[in-house]
Amino acid sequence: MMKIALALAVALALGFILSVLLKTPRHDRDWVVGVSRMPVFETMPDGRRRLHNMRAFEFSAHHAAKDWRETTLDPADLEEIWFFTEPFPAFKGAAHTFISFVFGGDTDQTIAISVEARKERGEVYSGFNGLFNKFELIYLWSTEKDVLTRIAIGLDHDLYAYKLDVTAEQSREILNHFIERTNELKDRPRFYNTITSNCTNELVKSINGAFPGALPWHFSHVLTGYAARRLHHLGFLDHETPRFEDLRAEALATKAIRAAAEEPDPAFPDEWRKLMTDEKR
């Protein structure tokens, strides 16, 4: 009887493993609205990049609006990269991470990229399900106002904002690798995976693609709540502040983001940064 039960358990386990391994990632599912469009970049003759399907949702205390846009970016106008963390209250080691690109010049806008599990209607994210090819992967490009107000107001979560200590040339290399990976994903769907293809280690892959070995493997690529601490240790975040705890306290941006939420999109990125700077004085 024990042998039969063991054989049945093994057969069920093998069947489950095969069902996971044989599942094929696709783009043509019934997605929730927020991830219903796959971003893609077009290279223009003059070297600028045209971004299609950029999400531009907005949340404030008084309204929510949903929109999708196209925009043109000139990598030569890129000035800064910011790294954000959204801690998960239930576990110190878990957080959502993403980055934004600050452009000056003729581009004069700030856009964000958030690597996420692409959910279908009716699905609820869980890290456990993310281990078993339950969700496809999406490189979600949006206005910075979209992602920041969604988290700080729509979800009522805290956000921490850190300016990356990289040169303009390094920033452009990182941007170009994110663009390449975005287009690759459009052509070849992939699954999200909580351990191997999550919000943080997908960012790491693009940065290491631009600068091989810049971010060696570390447990913070999986326990993403420690990602900012790791970047600080490696010198990517304000090396003039030696204690990460001090830097993290200064990086809390939630209040400034909420206060700036009524600002129109072009002014929003500068406004919340100004308010956060004023809070430190």
24 assigned to some structural domain: no
Q: How much of the chain, in percent, has pLDDT values that exceed 70?
A: 92
Residue whose C-alpha is closest to residue 180's, from 106, 113, 255 = 113
Residue type, 197: S
CB 202 within 8 Å of CB 137: yes
Q: Which residues pair with 38 in a beta bridge?
A: none
At 13 the pLDDT is 42
Which residues form the domain of 213? 29-280
pLDDT above 50: residue 92 = yes
The structural domain count of the chain equals 1
At 177 the pLDDT is 97
Q: What is the mean pLDDT of residues 16-30?
A: 70
State the pLDDT confidence band at 123, using cuts at 50, 70 and 90.
very high
The helix/strand/coil state of 281 is coil
CA dihedral 190, 103, 94, 116 (to 10 degrees): -20
For 244-262, b/e burial (b = at least 16 CB within 10 A) is: beebbebbebbebbbbbbe
Q: What is the mean pLDDT of residues 231-257?
A: 95
4 assigned to some structural domain: no
The helix/strand/coil state of 244 is helix
At 10 the pLDDT is 44
7 assigned to some structural domain: no
CA distance 171 to 101: 8
CA distance 29 to 22: 17
Residue whose C-alpha is closest to residue 95's, from 189, 203, 222 = 222
187 assigned to some structural domain: yes
**How confident is the model over 71-88, as pLDDT tens digits?**
999 999 999 999 999 999
Please give the mean pLDDT across all residues of the chain. 92
What is the number of residues in the chain? 281
CA distance 248 to 186: 35
Q: What is the mean pLDDT of residues 10-26?
A: 54
**How confident is the model over 130-156, as pLDDT tens digits?**
999 999 999 999 999 999 999 999 999
At 2 the pLDDT is 59
State the pLDDT confidence band at 1, using cuts at 50, 70 and 90.
low
Long-range contacts (CB closer than 8 Å, 24 or more residues apart) made by 260-263: 261/58, 261/59, 261/60, 261/61, 261/145, 261/149, 261/152, 261/153, 262/60, 262/62
68 assigned to some structural domain: yes
At 62 the pLDDT is 75
CA dihedral 41, 43, 44, 50 (to 10 degrees): 10
CA distance 261 to 276: 13
CA distance 166 to 116: 24
Query: 11 or 104: whose pLDDT is higher?
Result: 104
152 assigned to some structural domain: yes
At 279 the pLDDT is 83
Q: Which two tokens stand for residue 214?
A: 């810049």
State the pLDDT confidence band at 59, using cuts at 50, 70 and 90.
confident
200 assigned to some structural domain: yes
Residues 6 or more apart whose CB falls under 8 angstroms from that of 84 comprise 97, 98, 99, 100, 112, 147, 148, 159, 160, 161, 162, 253
State the pLDDT confidence band at 5, using cuts at 50, 70 and 90.
very low
**How confident is the model over 167-182, as pLDDT tens digits?**
999 999 999 999 999 9
63 assigned to some structural domain: yes
